[in-house]
Structure formats: structure tokens, C-alpha cells
Amino acid sequence: MVITKDIKMADVIHMNHFSLSILERFGIELGFGDKSVDETCKIYNVDTDFFLEIINAFIHTEYFPKKQLQNFPVKLITDYLQKTHNYYMQIKVPEIESLIEEMVLSCSTQKENINLLKRFFSEYKEELKNHIQREEKVVFPYTQLIENAFYSDKIDKQTLRQMDEYSIDIFEKEHDNIEEKLYDLKNIIIKYLPQPNNKTLCNKLLHELFGLEKDINDHSRIEDKVLVPKILEMEKGIRKKAGLKV
């Protein structure tokens, strides 16, 4: 079911509790009573249409009215992406780390193996961190530059030069699969790790990994299907305006 602005916010959570993390990113707090999505968004100063697109894209992987999402300002999209970055690095990753740490401490039979997982995950964390830094330092500022240029009347040489140096299709190419290692880690636990004595913790960890993987997939989808096409389109527009070949 596609979520619309008149649905109760509470029902959105009932429908898919993973959407809690999205609400958190928009700064929307629980306790909305019977208020609709629209009413709740207004209270928290959130663009309702943007919220709807994001939450629907998150809940239904096949739902992607790209055109509509592409109409939103770049800043709105990158702000959201940046918030998901913070959510990964400040909440999810530390949560998973402490779960693994707890497993190491409480495990009597598999300490060495769990330590392997720990090392693997810390490698992953580094990778994720680099990935995020690159996006925030290089990609996001570039998208803003392109948008500004696109809406200004004059295209300066500076912008064109930067477009020559870096263009969004470079990002598209180098945008590696950051979920790959999570997938490996899940499979190692599910298929190959001899079950440690603390199974509850192990299941909790798996649950968290599945959650993070879904979230990161969704995140990459917004980048690849919304941000990249939008910028590509604008790059073309700028070249046209500057009288260059497209």
C-alpha cells in the first residue's frame, strides 16, 4: 500500500516498523496520536511530499516515481542522505560493534571465531567511513555546484572546468557496492560459523545486519536512481547553455 499524506502517521509505523529509522532521520518524534502524515510533517517542518517519496521508496522497493523525486532541490536530497550517513556511523555501526563485543565476552567456545567477525566488521566500518567521506567531501558539494550553475543565468568558466575534472558519471562508476561485505558477513554467520553458545545475541546481530543492509540498499537506490540522473540532466543543461556540445 502506497502511503499518502492523509494516512495516520501511526499506521505508517504499524505497516512497516523499519520506517522508524526514516522518521528519526527527519527528526520526527513519536507520540503523534492520530495525526496524519501531512499534519505531523508540518509540525516538524518537514516537506511532506519529500517525506512521502522517501518513505514509499523505502517501504516498496519497486515504487520509484523518479521524476517526482527529481523535482526536489538537490539540497533536500543530499541533506537526507547525509542524515542517513550519520545514522549509520553514529547509531547502527556502534550498535553492531557492541553486539559483537558482547558476543566475544560471553562466548566460551567460539572466542577466536567471533574475534574474526569483529575484525571483519571493523574493516567494513573503515570502508563505509571512506565511502561516506568521499560522498560528503566530493560528491555532495559537486551536486550543489551543478544545481546552482543550472539555475543561474551565466555559466562561469570555473564551473565548466570543474565539470571537466569531475562529473557525476565518475561517481556512478566508482560507486562501489558498499553492501557487499555485509552480505558476506551474514552468510558467514548463517552458513559457516559454528553456533556460539549465546544464540540470542547471534540472532540479534543477524537481525541488525539485515536491517543495516536494507537501509544501505535503499540509500544507494536514492543516490543511483534519483541524485545521479538529476545531476546528469543538469550537466547536460549547463553544457547546452554554455554553447558546448552535449
The site for another protein (CB under 8 A) is made up of 108-110, 112-113, 116-117, 120, 123, 180-181, 183-185, 187-188, 191-195, 197
Task: With CA atoms as reference, report the closest residue to 23 among 63, 61, 57, 54.
Answer: 54
The DSSP element (H or E) to which 113 belongs, if any, is helix 111-134
Instruction: With residue 217 as reference, give the H or E element that holds it.
Output: helix 199-222
User: What is the nearest approach in angstroms of another protein to the Cβ of residue 215?
Assistant: 19
Smallest gap from Cβ 222 to another protein, in A, equals 23
Least Å distance, CB 124 to another protein, is 8
Given the complex with another protein, which of 5 and 111 has the nearer CB atom? 111
On whether the CB atoms of residues 36 and 46 are closer than 8 A, the answer is no
Of the pair 152, 197, the CB lying nearest another protein is at 197
Contact 26, 185 (CB under 8 A): no
Q: 123 or 224: whose CB is closer to another protein?
A: 123
> Taking the complex as a whole, how short is the minimal distance between the CB of residue 102 and another protein, in angstroms?
18
Spatial distance between the Cα atoms of 236 and 89, rounded to a whole number of angstroms: 34
Give whichever of 33 and 194 is closer to another protein, judged by the CB atom.
194
Name residue, grid cell 555485509: 182
